[in-house]
Amino acid sequence: MNITHALAISTLTVLLAVPAAAQSPAPEARPAPEAVEQPRLFAVQTPSPEAPPAPAPAPRPRRSSTPDVRIVLPPLPPNAPMPPIVLGDRVEQLYDQGRNAIEQGRYDRAVERFEQLIEMKTTRTDAALYWKAYSEDRLGDRSKALTTLSELQKQFTDSRWIKDAKALELELRQAAGQAVPTDLQNDEELKLLALRGLIQNDPDQAFPIVEKMLSGSNTPRVKERALFLLAQSQNARAREIVATTAKAGSNPDLQLKAINYLGMMNGPDNRQVLEDVYKSTTDVAVKRAVLRSFMMARDNARLLAVAKTETSADLRRNAIDMLGALRDAAGLVALARVEKNPEMKRDIVARLSTIKTKEATDYLMELLK
């Protein structure tokens, strides 16, 4: 006899022991109530002796003379909530939204997003100031753009954005009082079109030009597009330039883009470069970018290593989230077995609850024993 059967019979015995006068007669059979004040492990319903039996869809054979007992289990609790978005995630979300708005030519939206970032005063403030100035110029408000660039250079004298800020300021001051080019963005596109043709037709001549562009005074947008063209090339020299930029890009955004491209390009050499970058940097944004590239490359082993050894709780959680996205039940179970932090263990189990594999199910059943 299992515990469920025992509990049902025990409860039925108590109910039958209550005097008949204490039970209110029911004019008709009613369904189980939808809600009760106190949660119960089991809700047991027996037909009233004075009420007509409830109609059944089809008669079922009775195994014994025991009265028909219907056990109604309470509803299952909702799934464990996902962890809240941490500040670092919100910062990256706003930054990406601003950059995407620039790519779409929605400069007013970009300014709005970067202003939100500037108010938050995070490690992305200097980058947000640069891109806000860039967007303000594209909106035709050169004076505002110059003011924003001045603010960037005053507040962040050691920023890696200073070089690009000065280049943009020089470009804006040269245009002051002169006719503004009809479409400055098209000029950038022309450079990129010419570069793409050169990479396809004469890569040996193109690569030195790209390296000069990446370290020169071109706008970060042009540099990123040039880097993208390299990432599409199968040439070993092109991949070397991307890897070098990922290790130490002259511009922070350029470094993040290179890390992203290494994940897209995949390959053991590129994944090793990503691991080296992760270990050598203290920049949280760079570490997050490396984790995303590990996920794109489906490098479960390196994500698992970060989830086990990283001292930052936020970065560990990022690695766990990505293992969950990759449906790596085996890795998550291994983490859960050794995890000492209750909150982190709940996060891991929450990810496992969304994975329908034998490893995940077996471990969840193990927790219920």
Tell me if the pTM is above 0.85: no
**320 pLDDT exceeds 70?**
yes
Domains of the chain: 1-55+64-77 (no CATH), 87-175 (1.25.40.10), 198-368 (1.25.10.10)
The answer to whether the CB of 312 falls within 8 A of the CB of 284 is yes
Average pLDDT estimate for 306-333: 92
Q: What was the pLDDT predicted at 32?
A: 47
State how far the Cα of 369 lies from the Cα of 357, in Å rounded to an integer.
Answer: 19
Angle at 221 between CA 218 and CA 227, to 5 degrees: 85
Total residues found in the chain within this entry: 369
State how far the Cα of 97 lies from the Cα of 114, in Å rounded to an integer.
Answer: 9
Q: What was the pLDDT predicted at 23?
A: 44
Average pLDDT estimate for 212-240: 85
**46 pLDDT exceeds 60?**
no
Burial class (CB in 10 A: 0-12, 13-18, 19+), 188: middle
Q: How confident is the model at residue 188 (pLDDT cuts 50, 70, 90)?
A: low
Higher pLDDT, 315 or 22: 315
What are the tens digits of pLDDT across the range 281-298? 999 999 999 999 999 999
Q: What was the pLDDT predicted at 145?
A: 93
C-beta pairs of 263-268 under 8 Å, 24+ apart in sequence: 263/292, 263/293, 263/294, 263/295, 263/296, 263/297, 264/231, 264/293, 264/296, 265/231, 265/239, 266/296, 266/297
- 71, β-bridge pairs: 44
**319 pLDDT exceeds 90?**
yes
Q: How far is CA 75 from CA 7, 41, 342, 346, 355, in A?
A: 18, 10, 26, 21, 21
**202 pLDDT exceeds 80?**
yes
Task: Write the single-letter amino acid at 61.
Answer: P
The answer to whether the CB of 343 falls within 8 A of the CB of 86 is no
Average pLDDT estimate for 144-155: 93
Task: Write the single-letter amino acid at 100.
Answer: N
Closest Cα to residue 39, out of 67, 4, 72, 79? Answer: 72
What are the tens digits of pLDDT across the range 69-82? 443 434 434 444 44
Burial class (CB in 10 A: 0-12, 13-18, 19+), 80: middle
Give the best-scoring range by mean pLDDT among 4-8, 132-136, 175-179, 211-215: 132-136
The pLDDT mean for the chain works out to 77
State how far the Cα of 293 lies from the Cα of 39, in Å rounded to an integer.
Answer: 46
